[in-house]
Amino acid sequence: MYTNRIEIVEVSARDGIQNEKRAVATADKVALIERAIEAGARRLEVTSFVNPRAVPQMADAEEVCTALPQRDDVTYVGLVMNARGADRAIATGRIDQLGAVAVSTDTFAMRNQGQTRDGSVEACRDIIERAQNVGLTAQATLAASFGCPFEGEVAEDRVIAMARAIAEAGPVEIALADTIGVGNPAHVDRLVSKVREAVDPLPVRVHFHNTRGTGLANVWAAIQAGAQVVDASIGGLGGCPFAPGAAGNVATEDVAFMLERAGIQTGLDLERLIDVNHWLAEVMGKDLPAMVGKAGGFPKVEETSEDTEERTAA
């Protein structure tokens, strides 16, 4: 399967910074969202409505929502784990799409959201219904689909059954998440293909962390297997407070570079993404993992030929 257009969901304002030690000011989160929109992002995960004691970095969810730019052409996603979170997100009046999460193993589901695996599927379906009841849409993500930090291998049949059960509730798509970054392209190819078949005609979204360097290869494999939407985070920031050793998301600028050079449109402006990377590095006070942010895009060759004499490099 090959497509010439992929939608990228910008997740830096939530997944990107939720695990950062440095507290990020609300104004900086909003500036990050504004800059991502200027670079072409049209669907963005902007915050999560979770217990602020568990995830202090997201304690300003309501304040972020109030300050979001008013745009009809942008979809704002708020991540929620339960009915209370859904109610909070809906009450802001600024969230367009609820993001629900089910977890593929019981141990991880317990640590991440205090539920069993089946309980997380039920919560997911409930959140989708709550969104639809008030005229919003919902997306659903299956966390730890490629491996669990506590239980190891995750049976593919289980992931497929969960995807099917959630798809029945009518989310805009089903996502497979490699929360701890253990996936490989062959596994991704297999699971995306099977889940696509199981949830057809719903699209499949993928969410990869680059913890072991397989992030971009997994994105490519997922697209070849028919995934239509990819989560990515400017600068490659990211992690999970409940997944030991989890590193950042695949970087938006790295994914955009790879896809655009391969003839697949993303709607993103690479130069602007790189500018956002440099701005974000200053805000975070450190270098960011993204590689294209450091190296820049494809070389721009000057068209003039008059300066050839001065060239010394061979």
Active-site positions read 240
Q: Closest by alpha carbon to 247, among 63, 50, 16?
A: 16
Q: What is the largest CA-CA distance in the chain?
A: 71
Taking CB under 5 A as the binding criterion, the range among 11-19, 104-112, 121-129, 278-286 that sits at the site for Zn ion is 11-19
Residues in 27-56 that interact with Zn ion by CB under 5 A:
none
What is residue 58's DSSP assignment? Answer: G
Total residues at interface with Zn ion (CB under 5 A): 1
What span, in angstroms and rounded, lies between the C-alpha atoms of 56 and 185?
34
Q: Does residue 15 belong to the site contacting Zn ion (CB under 5 A)? A: yes
| String of contacts with Zn ion for each residue 78-97, x by CB under 5 A | --------------------
Residues 182, 164: Cα–Cα separation, whole Å: 23
Per-residue DSSP letter, 213: S
- In angstroms, give the least distance from the CB of 227 to Zn ion: 16
- 10 is a contact residue toward Zn ion (CB under 5 A): no
Of 15 and 173, nearer to Zn ion (C-beta) is 15
Instruction: Rule CB under 5 A: say whether 178 interacts with Zn ion.
Output: no
- Cβ 199 vs Cβ 160: under 8 Å: no
Which of these segments, 9-17, 33-41, 46-54, 161-169, binds Zn ion (CB under 5 A)? Answer: 9-17
Cβ proximity of 222 and 206 under 8 Å: yes
Question: First and final CA of the chain: distance in angstroms?
Answer: 41
State the minimum distance, in angstroms, from the CB of residue 308 to Zn ion. 49
For Zn ion, the closer of residues 141 and 228 by Cβ is 141
Q: Smallest distance from the beta carbon of 249 to Zn ion, in angstroms? A: 6
| Residue 15 vs 60, nearer CB to Zn ion | 15
Q: Which is nearer to Zn ion, 15 or 253 (CB)?
A: 15
Q: Measuring CA to CA, which residue among 107, 28, 15 is closest to residue 55?
A: 15
Rounded distance, CA 17 to CA 236, Å?
10
Least separation, in Å, of the C-beta of 246 and Zn ion? 7
Question: CA-based Rg of the chain, rounded to a whole angstrom?
Answer: 19
Nearest approach in angstroms of CB 178 to Zn ion is: 8
Which residue, 76 or 242, has its beta carbon nearer to Zn ion?
242
In the complex, which residue's CB is closest to Zn ion?
15
3-state class (DSSP) for residue 232: strand
User: Where on the chain is the footprint of Zn ion (CB under 5 A)?
Assistant: 15
